[in-house]
Amino acid sequence: MLKSTTKLLASAAMALTLGTVSATADIKVGVLVPDSGPAGLFGPSTRNSAKLAAEKINASGGINGEQIELVFADVGVPPAEATQAALRLWKGEGAQAFVGMHDSAVREALIGRFGGQVPYVYTPVYEGNSCADGLYITGETPSQQLAPVIPHLAEKEGVSKWYLIGHDYNWPRDTNALAKGYIADAGGEVVGEEYVPFTVAEFDSSLQRIKESGADAVLITLVGGGSVGFNVSFAGFGLDERAIRLGTLIEENTLAGIGADNADRLFSSSGYFASIETEGAASFAADYSAAYGADAPALNGLGQSAYEGLMLLAALANKAGSLDVAAMDAAAEGTTWTTPRGDNTLTGHHMAQTIYLADGSGGAFNIVASFDNVASSEACSN
Amino acid sequence: MTSVLILNLAWQISTLALVALGLAIVFGKLRIMNMAHGEFVMIGAYAPVITSSLGLPGWLQLPVCLLTVAFVAFILERVVIRHLYGRMFDSLLATWGIAILLREAVELIFGRGYQSVSPPISGTLSVLGSDYPAYRIAVIIGIIIGFAALYWWNARSKVATRIKAMVGNPDLAEAIGINTARLSAGAFIFGCCTAGLAGLILAPTIRIEPMMGLDYLIRSFFALVVGGLGSLEGLGIGAGIIAGTQSFLGAVVSQTYGYLAVLTLSILFLWLKPDGIRSSSR
């Protein structure tokens, strides 16, 4: 209880500081965050990261000399409602640009609604190949997370027999379609592929299949609670001694649910971890805990992506000299900017970025490799 | 293959029977459609999180679990449930609201994130020629012993008969000296405590977060629909069919077909045999 009171006070203080800034604000930026729904877990860290980005942008002169103010909407709801919420910010409150951290269904609905009339930065990990006027993407796509990582693991861990397991929807299927190519190129083979419905909470039969397949590596594209349940049972059956695991959406919260006992040789590939030790990432993490306290919602790749998105928006709008979509599209290719993730370049409306490989053994991510300037093969042709 | 399949079946059936036991008591005996059943499983699963955040030793997990769940169940029974005995639809709406309240309360205290719990017994045992988690073996044996004891007690104790009399005719039961208020409160709290115990036992093997209760509520209802209300045999048969179907089809075909079969079975039973296979209460 005491904790929530301090949090309340902290956010009230935060609102006051932002309030003084907003008195002089000229540009409103709509930030679309999941406050509810399955991704609701990431709402608080997303908001916090976005606010830090706005402070940073305003401290360094704003967008084209004008200060920015963030206006938030909850998009952890079905696409039709999410579009309405975004529309209220756009037409009602006069937001001139959007940054969104939400699922793909909402993104597709928003692309249709925005119709290329307003710049829109989409920030979470996603399946790739989404292209539209005024749409810029900072999230990692499967090719970025896997192309450098699978050969690296094949060499360092000596693994060659891969089992692919994911939830039954397009992101896991698209990821695995690409993974098969990288596995073959690295001299490995796929010994099993399986998709489970979201309603399944136990994975005993899948684990038995993995054991029988003789796999020495498992690529996991299960999400959220399913990933936690799978990984807990995986280690319970002692399979962690037989095979390494690689996940492309295992962030700090998921690892906390899996637990230290069950995370041996569990690797995760992402553009961001809270434990990245580069100067940029360390100072970002320090700013975050200074602003929100030690028991603030833990930093993770999804929440932090909102920071990346706002920084791209500022860099791109400053390069184009306006928030006009045609001008920004013309200036987009080759935009470079630096964030906690590292040095980034915009190519094909997607963000070429540093990809980190972390080992979750012992219950905390330890960065074991990083790959600079990895471009997405699912970007847009200009 | 086969020995692991058998052990997986035993694990799934025994844990489902344990999870559904509380619902069978509250729904089957008291006619309270307890939509907050899964939330009691959830609170039980949070007991190790409570003890570790307070720095208490591990052996206190069980008392903390039972005290917490019993306390919550007692308050709810006094404030809400006691007004709703025999009003099944009203109880459904009220307990659905309680379920939301409990989820939000846990989220407020522990946050929305996932929690993890270490098993008291780690490692695997070689059973029937295959490696199986030692903790699961211990749990399966424990549940079998627990149900045997419950069955033995149920057959001898007068409490079950008193509850039956109370549900059948409350006024007459009061007239012959049964304290119905205390009896029904006791049965409700006992039912909730078994749900909490199930959560505590399952905690090291599952995901733990405020929304986790829903899975357990739905599967428990399926088991009761198929098995029938009011008897331990019915509960066992229902858990066996629901967990067995999912587990077996999941192993030989795929998880999708397993779940599809469970849904189809439940719908067929609701439609053609709404009292389930075994129903002793009417």
Phi, psi of A45 (to 5 degrees): -70, -30
pLDDT average, residue stretch A300-318: 96
- Quote the pLDDT of residue A382: 65
Shortest CA distance to A11 belongs to which of A43, A48, A40? A48
Q: Is the pLDDT of residue B13 over 80?
A: yes
Asked if A225 lies within 8 A of B114 by C-beta distance, the reply is: yes
- Quote the pLDDT of residue A22: 44
Asked if B114 lies within 8 A of A256 by C-beta distance, the reply is: yes
How do A161-167 and A189-196 pair as beta strands? Answer: parallel
Shortest CA distance to B199 belongs to which of B4, B21, B79, B2? B21
Length of chain A: 382
Share of chain A above pLDDT 90, in %: 87
Roughly what angle, to the nearest 10 degrees, separates helices B37-53 and B2-23? 100
Q: Residue A360 and residue A348: Cα distance in Å, rounded?
A: 32
Q: B247: which chain A residues are within 8 Å (Cβ-Cβ)? A: 202, 204-205
Asked if B124 lies within 8 A of A206 by C-beta distance, the reply is: no
Question: Distance (Å) from the C-alpha of residue B124 to the closest C-alpha of chain A?
Answer: 7
Q: At A378, is the secondary structure helix, strand, or coil?
A: coil
Q: Is the pLDDT of residue A18 over 70?
A: no
Q: What is the pLDDT of residues A247-261, one digit of tens each?
A: 999 999 999 999 999
Nearest-CA residue of chain A relative to B5? A205
- Quote the pLDDT of residue B87: 85
CB A327 within 8 A of CB A96: no
The encoded tokens of residue A331 equal: 């200036």
The encoded tokens of residue A142 equal: 């499967």
Residue of A194, A201, A259 with shortest CB distance to B215: A201
Burial A93-120 (b: 16+ CB within 10 A, else e): eebbbbbbbbbbebbebbbebbeeebbb
Nearest-CA residue of chain B relative to A37? B211
Q: What is the pLDDT of residues B182-207, one digit of tens each?
A: 999 999 999 999 999 999 999 999 99
Residue type present at position A264: D
In angstroms, how far is the first alpha carbon of chain B from the final one? 42
Output the DSSP codes for A272-300: --TT--SHHHHHHHHHHHHHH-TTSSPP-
CB B192 within 8 A of CB B22: yes
- Quote the pLDDT of residue A2: 44
Q: A257: which chain B residues are within 8 Å (Cβ-Cβ)? A: 113-116, 207-209
Contacts 24+ apart (CB under 8 A), A316-321: A316/A119, A316/A136, A316/A346, A317/A63, A317/A64, A317/A97, A317/A119, A318/A63, A318/A64, A321/A64
Question: Distance (Å) from the C-alpha of residue A178 to the closest C-alpha of chain B?
Answer: 23
Q: What is the pLDDT of residues B95-140, one digit of tens each?
A: 999 999 999 999 999 988 899 999 999 888 988 888 899 999 999 9
Nearest-CA residue of chain B relative to A40? B112
- Quote the pLDDT of residue B31: 86
**pTM of structure:** 0.90
Asked if A259 lies within 8 A of B116 by C-beta distance, the reply is: yes
Q: Residue A68 and residue A56: Cα distance in Å, rounded?
A: 10
- Quote the pLDDT of residue A39: 86
Q: Residue B115 and residue B48: Cα distance in Å, rounded?
A: 10
Residue of A204, A229, A238 with shortest CB distance to B124: A238
Burial A231-241 (b: 16+ CB within 10 A, else e): bbbbbbbbbbe
DSSP count for chain A of H helices, then E strands: 13, 14
Output the DSSP codes for B41-98: HHHHHHHHHHHHHTT--GGGHHHHHHHHHHHHHHHHHHHTGGG-TT-HHHHHHHHHHH
Higher pLDDT, A2 or A183: A183
Q: Is the pLDDT of residue A317 over 90?
A: yes
CB A276 within 8 A of CB A304: no
- Quote the pLDDT of residue B140: 97
Q: Is the pLDDT of residue A212 over 80?
A: yes
Q: Residue A53 and residue A101: Cα distance in Å, rounded?
A: 14
- Domains A2-140+275-347 and A143-270 belong to one CATH topology: yes
- Quote the pLDDT of residue A10: 52
Q: Residue B280 and residue B230: Cα distance in Å, rounded?
A: 6
Q: Is the pLDDT of residue A196 over 70?
A: yes
Burial zone of A33 (CB within 10 Å; 0-12 exposed, 13-18 middle, 19+ buried): buried
B11, B53, B114: best to mutate for the A interface, most A CBs within 10 A: B114
Query: Chain-centre distance of CA A317, in angstroms?
Result: 22
Across chain B, mean pLDDT equals 91
CA Rg value for chain A: 21
CB A83 within 8 A of CB A100: no
- Quote the pLDDT of residue A381: 86
pLDDT average, residue stretch A55-64: 95
CB of A225 less than 8 A from some CB of B:
yes
The Cβ-side half-sphere exposure at B279, using a 13 Å CA radius, reads: 16
Residue of A195, A206, A229 with shortest CB distance to B206: A229
Q: Is the pLDDT of residue A115 over 70?
A: yes
The DSSP symbol for B115 reads: B
In chain A, where do the E strands start and end? 27-33, 68-74, 97-100, 120-122, 135-137, 161-167, 189-196, 217-221, 244-247, 266-270, 336-339, 342-347, 350-359, 366-374
Domain A143-270: CATH superfamily, name plus number: Response regulator (3.40.50.2300)
- Quote the pLDDT of residue A21: 45
Question: Distance (Å) from the C-alpha of residue B239 to the closest C-alpha of chain A?
Answer: 15
Contacts with A345 (C-beta within 8 Å, 6 or more apart), sequence order: A334, A335, A336, A351, A352, A373, A375
- Quote the pLDDT of residue B161: 82
Asked if A229 lies within 8 A of B131 by C-beta distance, the reply is: no
Q: What is the pLDDT of residues A273-297, one digit of tens each?
A: 999 999 999 999 999 999 999 888 8
Asked if A204 lies within 8 A of B115 by C-beta distance, the reply is: no
Q: B114: which chain A residues are within 8 Å (Cβ-Cβ)? A: 225, 228, 253-254, 256-258
Q: Where are the domains of chain A?
A: 2-140+275-347, 143-270
Q: Is the pLDDT of residue B230 over 80?
A: no
Q: Where are the domains of chain B?
A: 17-212
Asked if A236 lies within 8 A of B136 by C-beta distance, the reply is: yes
Q: What is the pLDDT of residues B42-82, one digit of tens each?
A: 999 999 999 999 999 989 999 999 999 999 999 999 999 99
Asked if B206 lies within 8 A of A201 by C-beta distance, the reply is: yes
Q: Please, which pLDDT band fits residue A17 given cuts at 50, 70 and 90?
A: very low
Lowest pLDDT segment from A8-12, A47-51, A218-222, A361-365: A8-12
- Quote the pLDDT of residue A7: 52
- Quote the pLDDT of residue B169: 83
Asked if B113 lies within 8 A of A262 by C-beta distance, the reply is: no
CA distances from B219 to A149, A218, B13, B226, B257 (A): 39, 29, 11, 11, 16
- Quote the pLDDT of residue A25: 62
A 243-302 near B (Cβ less than 8 A): 253-254, 256-262, 297-298
Asked if B250 lies within 8 A of A261 by C-beta distance, the reply is: no
CB atoms within 10 A of CB A369: 16
Q: Look up the CATH architecture of domain A2-140+275-347.
A: 3-Layer(aba) Sandwich (3.40)
Q: Is the pLDDT of residue B273 over 70?
A: yes
- Which uninterrupted H or E stretch holds B130? strand B130-133
A 178-217 near B (Cβ less than 8 A): 194-197, 199-202, 204-206, 208, 212
Residue of B109, B115, B122 with shortest CB distance to A261: B122
The encoded tokens of residue A177 equal: 């379609």
Phi, psi of B260 (to 5 degrees): -60, -45
- Which uninterrupted H or E stretch holds B240? helix B232-252
Q: Please, which pLDDT band fits residue B1 given cuts at 50, 70 and 90?
A: low
Output the DSSP codes for A59-102: HTTTBTTB-EEEEEEE--S-HHHHHHHHHIIIIIS---EEEE-S
